[in-house]
Structures are given as structure tokens and as C-alpha cells.
Structure 1
Amino acid sequence: MEQLLATDALSDSTKIVLGAGVIGLIFGYCAQQSRFCLRAACLEFWGGRLGPKVAVWLIVFGTALLAVQHLIATGRLNPLDVRQLAMAGSLSGAIVGGLMFGVGMVLARGCASRLLVLSATGNVRALVAGLVVTVAAQASLSGILSPVREAVNRLWVVGPNARNLALHLPDGTGLALGLACVALAAFLAWRNKVGLWTAATAVGVGLTIALGWAFTAALSHVSFEPVTVSSVTFTGPSADTLMALIVRPEMVMNFGIGLVPGVFAGSLIATLAHREFRVQTFDAESGTIRYLVGAVLMGFGGMAAGGCAVGAGVTGGSVLSLTAWVALLCMWIGGGLAGIVLERPAAGAPPQGWTTGILATFRRS
């Protein structure tokens, strides 16, 4: 890959935007086809089932973890180049931000990445909520909400050594965890009769995480300009893209600027190719306020936690970042609590313990 990226035919900034666009295109197409969604998996899990939505999420997470740990084991990704491991991080931000993000994604009926993917399918609700997420994220990064975010993040800060879980675990633990996740995901996919195409596109989503890490790492080795080694994330890049479009005369060419439109385009291609485009607007049943409140919670929570459900949860989790794993856990908890309060009463469903569903799943096997 490095030899290909070393060509002088394109500038380094063009390479990173084009590369991110291709990765985003694959992510958007595969995410739309697999219906990859943390909110859906979270509600299914806390509803007492290890069903198809949990299986799809585990396929994505397990694939990303296994592939990225393989990159690290083979020397193609240096953990010291990864910002989530080389810099101090905030555990308080991961906890508070993760909980807020989890509640927000249930209110808005989708996490930041899912809203972007759904926007291309004609879902106006997702488009509006996604725009609010980006505004809230920007306000949390450098605007009116930034003092609150900074105060939350200062409460509990951990250094790089504490943040890098690989330093405290036996060699090969990351690969073993990845294999375990993939094995469990395969079992659940088989048990819930997840289609081969759905499973394959879920694998595709997970591989884009590894592809992002590999691409930016390779480019950083041959570029004459500084290149941040990063991968797929949405809260920050979406805010950067929106701000670039409305307040800056010139765009700063980076990975996020290429990623966001690439994801939208990929989802749109999948939607049109499979004839799934359908305009969906706000109505009395959907509830506008819940979408807007959820979007604000996700925008602030994502910036405090260091990323969204994909950026912190999957991308950060794949490099064994402590703050990412804590943020992901808190997103699951926040989403579960919000689901219990908001979703079940609305559906008229009786409460059910999640352990009952898990035990029943394995008994049926």
C-alpha cells in the first residue's frame, strides 16, 4: 500500500480525501445493507434477546477487532501512532458522555453513523437529527457547551500507559478477543438465520475500520505533510464537514472531509440499487422533540466520550483503548435505560429480564 500511496501524481491531501471517500463509500453501502445499528442491537439485548441485530453488531465489532489487532501484530499499525493510545484520555468523559450518547441514540432512533446512513434513504427525520448532532458537537468542541465538556473531561484523566489495555494484558489477547467475538457472532447469526448477504456486508463494515487504520498509517509513512493516523468516526468529522461548508472559504483536507460524503454516497447507492428509497418525515407519532433532544445529547456525549458509537465504540475499541471500551459499555447501559423507560411502555410490552432471553437462546441451541 505504501508504494501505491508514494506516487507523485496526486497531492497528499487529495490522497487522504479520496482514500477516505472510498472507505466511506464501502462503509455506507455495507452499513445500509446489513442494517448495522448499535441502538437496534442495544434495545434487542436489553429486551431479553440475542437476536439478529445483536449478531450483526457483533460481526462488525469482532471483524474490526480481529483485523486491527492483526495489523498491530504484523507491524502495519504502530500503537504509538494512534492518538487514542499515545495521549491522555478522560474516563469521566467516557462515562458521562457514553451514558448521554446511549440515551440520545434511543431518543433519536439511531446513533450518529446510522443517522447519516438513513439520511441517504430519504429519511428526513434522520437528516434533521444528524444536522443537530453536528451543531451540538461543534458547540461542545469549541462553542457555548465547551466549558461544560472540558469540566466533565477534567474530572478523571488517565495517561497513555493506563489507556492502552494491551500493555496490561498478555500478548495476543486482542487477537483472542477478536476471534471470540467473531465465533459468538457466527453462532448468533446462524441461530437467528441471518442471511449470508447481511452477514457479508456486516463483515464489510468491520473491515472498513481496519482499512481506515491501515490507509492512514501507510500514508503517514510516505507523506511529506503530517497525517493523523485514524479511522472511521462520525461526530467530529460530521461537525468539521458542516462547518467547512458554511463558515470557511476553504476546506481543510483531512480524512473526515472525505469520509462523511463517502458514507452518504455509499448508502444512497445501496438504497437506489435495491429500490429502498422512501421519504419519511416527522409526524405526530414520531415526535420531533425526542429527535432533537436525542441529537443534542449525542453531539455533546460523543465529543465528551471521544467519539460516537462507531468512532469510540468500534474504531477505538479495536485498538484496545480503555476509554473507548468504557464509553462503549456506557453507551450500552445508557441505551438500555432509555429503552426501558421510553420504548417498552410505548410498545405496551411487559418487562422482561435480559438474562431470561440469553438463557433461552442457548437452551434452544
Structure 2
Amino acid sequence: MDLVALVERIGEAPAAALFGLITGTVFGIAAQRSQFCLRAAVVEFARGSMGDKIAVWLLTFSTAVVWVQGAQMLGLIETADARMMAVPGSWSGAIIGGLMFGAGMVLARGCSGRLLVLAATGNLRSLVSGLIFAVVAQMSLSGMFSPIRDRLASLWITSGGRNMDLLATLGLDQAFGLIFGLALAVLALIVARRNAIGTARLVFASGVGFAVALGWFLTYSLAQVAFDPLQIESATFTGPSAHTLMFFLDRNAVLEFDIGLVPGVFLGAFIAAAFAKELKFQGFETTSNMRQAMIGAALMGFGGMLAGGCAIGAGVTGGSIFAGTAWAALTSFWIGGMATDWLIFQRGALASA
């Protein structure tokens, strides 16, 4: 069945949700098997190690860049009109929100995407943290925190009524983006070899990046045949978590890509964990851990919404199309995460030694 026939048969909104489900399932399987996690990579780097977590993150990020930039060069996708690029970006939101999100993911012991993957395997700590994250994200989107978010986001925005395209701003073409991605992939493989990472894990790490490219391709393809305007987007978890929460609470909510994405990730991670026999109920170890996780989840909910995306949405999805504020947010994720690990965990360990 071709795409036009599919849209005519089930409708544009259900088709978008179906594509979100497909993208999410691929992401969930790959993320669960590769143990992809920005928080783990940040902590590893902050403690002076170039280990397996960094190798996995680098390979995921580089794979997304290579697939997306290659697809654009072949004319398979066009992200200039993507939601992330077609509206003004917020530099202040990316920086302030990115620092908050980075701190939150270290406290919660996982970014929003990682929490969703772990929740699917039976991790109740991640389930509780994920729910708090979704509620705070919704409050920051259209609830009581939205005025604060709007005020912070408006402090410094991109010029020209659009987000900044880093490649275009620097006078570089998409070939540079592809070469940059390939160079990062080589670095990732070097680090992976030094840490003796198995082939299967590397393939799944690449699969996470491929899922991001798949989301871009599916939504772009659907937008070309849809009668009504349709957002060109890919994997991210701040907005979709809030939208999915409201979908189950509001009978007037409509289907969209986001609504399929989050259940898809949960389903994919559950399937992967079940096949690997890694389903296991886990809870909070101590009251202190619970308190840190809840605070971290709240910081991620507000910070991710302010930054315009989470560790996946801004860090990989936005980074793969070289959106200026996405790269600012990604940098802030790393800085906020490393600073929090030092202040809360490393310094405490040194003091008690």
C-alpha cells in the first residue's frame, strides 16, 4: 500500500500517529539494547573517562547526522520547514533550560528518553520520575509555569523569524554536515574499540540515530501528500510526553505523531527487554534517591520545555539538522550535567573519603 492510499484509508492524523509509533518502536528497541543515555555519557566524561557510554552516545549522534544530512543531499527529506527551524528559536531558553535539564537528568539518573525506556523494563523509579516529568512539562507548556517559561524564552531569540541554520550561517553546505557526521562516527568507533564494545551494541546504538532520521523521513513524506499542513518533526520527548498525557485525559485530544511516539518507545523497549529476559521490577533504593529523582524530573520537565527539546529532541534530533538553538541546548546539557555531578556526587564522595 502506497502512502497516498494509506492516508486515504485511515486519515492523515492516524497516519501521523502510526508513523510516530513506528519511529518510537525502532527507537525503543535500539535504545534498550544499546543502553543509550546522555546522562551516563556526561557523568562518564565528567569523571575523566572516555568509556563505553560516550562511545554509544557519539555513535548515536553521528549516525543521526549522517543519515539526515545524506537524506537531504539525496532529496529524500527537507528540514528547512521543520517545526524546529520554521519558528524563532530562543537562545536564552536553550541555555537556561539546557542547564536545568542537564542538572535534572543527573539527579534523576537518566534523561527523559532513558526514563521511558527503563520504565518499560519494570523500573518503577523511572516510571514515577517520568510521570513527574510529563506533568511538569505540561504545566510549562500551557499551565501555571508557562508565563515563566515564556518570559525566560523571550529574553534572547534568534533573528529573522526563524531558528538559526548553523551550516548556512557559517557558509557551509550539507556535504560538510555529512563529513562532520562521518568524522564523529570514526571517533565513536575508536572509543568503542578501546572499550571492547560488542558489534551488536554498536549496531543498536546506530539504530537510535537511524530512528531519528526515520522520523524525519516519515513526517516529511506524509507532509508531501497531506491535504492539511502537517508538522515535519522527529523523536523528542518533552512535548510528546505532555501531549500524550493530555491525550489520555482530554476526550477532545486528537491523534498526531507525538501520540504514537511515546507508546512506541515504551512498546519497543518492553519487547527488547522481554526477549533479553531483562524485565525486572525495581524501585527507589533510599528516600534520598527518591527526593533527588523527583527534583531532577521536575527540572527536566521545565528545562526541556524551555530549551525547546530534551536530550533527544534538541540533543540528537535538532543537532542532526544543525538547528542553532539545539546545539546551544546540547552544550548546556553537558555543562549542567557535569557541574551537577561534581557538586552533588563527586564533591560529596571526596568529602566523605
Q: TM-score, normalised by structure 2?
A: 0.95
What letter corresponds to residue 5 of structure 1 in structure 2?
L
Task: Tell whether 2:261 aligns with 1:259.
Answer: yes
Deviations 1:219-270 (A, max 9, x none): 0001122210000000110111111112x11431111100000000101111
Task: Tell whether 2:54 aligns with 1:54.
Answer: yes
The answer to whether the Cα contact below 8 Å between 2:163 and 2:325 also exists between their aligned partners in 1 is no
Q: 2:209 aligns with which of 203, 206, 215?
A: 206
Q: Which moved more, 1:342-351 or 1:153-162?
A: 342-351
Assess, with a 3 A threshold, how the Cα gap between structure 1 residues 162 and 5 changes in structure 2: closer, same or farther: closer
Residue in structure 2 matched with residue 283 of structure 1 by the alignment: 285
Q: 1:336 aligns with which of 335, 338, 343?
A: 338
Residue in structure 1 matched with residue 76 of structure 2 by the alignment: 76
The answer to whether the Cα contact below 8 Å between 2:29 and 2:268 also exists between their aligned partners in 1 is yes
Q: Which moved more, 1:160-169 or 1:19-28?
A: 160-169
Deviation at 1:4, TM superposition (A): 2.1
Q: TM-score, normalised by structure 1?
A: 0.92
1:11-50 correspondence runs (5 A): 11-50=11-50
What letter corresponds to residue 219 of structure 2 in structure 1?
T
Distance in 1 separating the partners of 2:229 and 2:169 = 30
1:173-192 correspondence runs (5 A): 173-192=176-195
SS at match of 2:9: coil
Distance in 2 separating the partners of 1:270 and 1:25 = 10
Deviation at 1:346, TM superposition (A): 5.0
SS at match of 1:89: coil
Residue in structure 2 matched with residue 168 of structure 1 by the alignment: 169
Deviations 1:170-227 (A, max 9, x none): 2222112111111111111111111111000001110010000000000000112221
SS at match of 2:10: coil
SS at match of 1:42: helix
Deviation at 1:348, TM superposition (A): 5.1
Assess, with a 3 A threshold, how the Cα gap between structure 1 residues 173 and 9 changes in structure 2: closer, same or farther: same
The answer to whether the Cα contact below 8 Å between 1:344 and 1:350 also exists between their aligned partners in 2 is no
Task: Tell whether 2:301 aligns with 1:303.
Answer: no
Deviations 1:144-181 (A, max 9, x none): 11111111101101135661112123222211211111
The answer to whether the Cα contact below 8 Å between 1:161 and 1:167 also exists between their aligned partners in 2 is no
SS at match of 1:231: coil
Residue in structure 1 matched with residue 274 of structure 2 by the alignment: 272
1:308-327 correspondence runs (5 A): 308-327=310-329
Residue in structure 2 matched with residue 356 of structure 1 by the alignment: none
Task: Tell whether 2:233 aligns with 1:230.
Answer: yes
Residue in structure 1 matched with residue 143 of structure 2 by the alignment: 143
Structure 2 segments unaligned to the other structure (5+ residues): none
Residue in structure 2 matched with residue 119 of structure 1 by the alignment: 119
SS at match of 2:137: helix
Q: 1:195 aligns with which of 198, 217, 221?
A: 198
Distance in 1 separating the partners of 2:54 and 2:352 = 21
Deviations 1:104-136 (A, max 9, x none): 000000000000000011110100000000111
Identity of aligned residues (%): 48
Distance in 1 separating the partners of 2:3 and 2:187 = 37
The answer to whether the Cα contact below 8 Å between 2:108 and 2:294 also exists between their aligned partners in 1 is yes
The answer to whether the Cα contact below 8 Å between 2:42 and 2:337 also exists between their aligned partners in 1 is yes
What letter corresponds to residue 3 of structure 2 in structure 1?
L
Distance in 1 separating the partners of 2:193 and 2:9 = 47
Residue in structure 2 matched with residue 93 of structure 1 by the alignment: 93
The answer to whether the Cα contact below 8 Å between 1:5 and 1:15 also exists between their aligned partners in 2 is no
Aligned residue-pair number: 348
Structure 1 segments unaligned to the other structure (5+ residues): 352-365
What letter corresponds to residue 185 of structure 2 in structure 1?
V
Assess, with a 3 A threshold, how the Cα gap between structure 1 residues 338 and 196 changes in structure 2: closer, same or farther: same
Deviation at 1:71, TM superposition (A): 1.6
Distance in 2 separating the partners of 1:286 and 1:274 = 31
What letter corresponds to residue 23 of structure 1 in structure 2?
T
Q: Which moved more, 1:98-107 or 1:164-173?
A: 164-173
Distance in 2 separating the partners of 1:212 and 1:334 = 28
The answer to whether the Cα contact below 8 Å between 2:89 and 2:162 also exists between their aligned partners in 1 is no
Distance in 1 separating the partners of 2:30 and 2:282 = 21
SS at match of 2:227: coil
What letter corresponds to residue 77 of structure 2 in structure 1?
L
Distance in 2 separating the partners of 1:344 and 1:304 = 28
Q: Which runs of 4+ in 1 moved over 6 A?
A: none
SS at match of 2:196: coil
Distance in 2 separating the partners of 1:254 and 1:296 = 25
Deviation at 1:50, TM superposition (A): 1.0
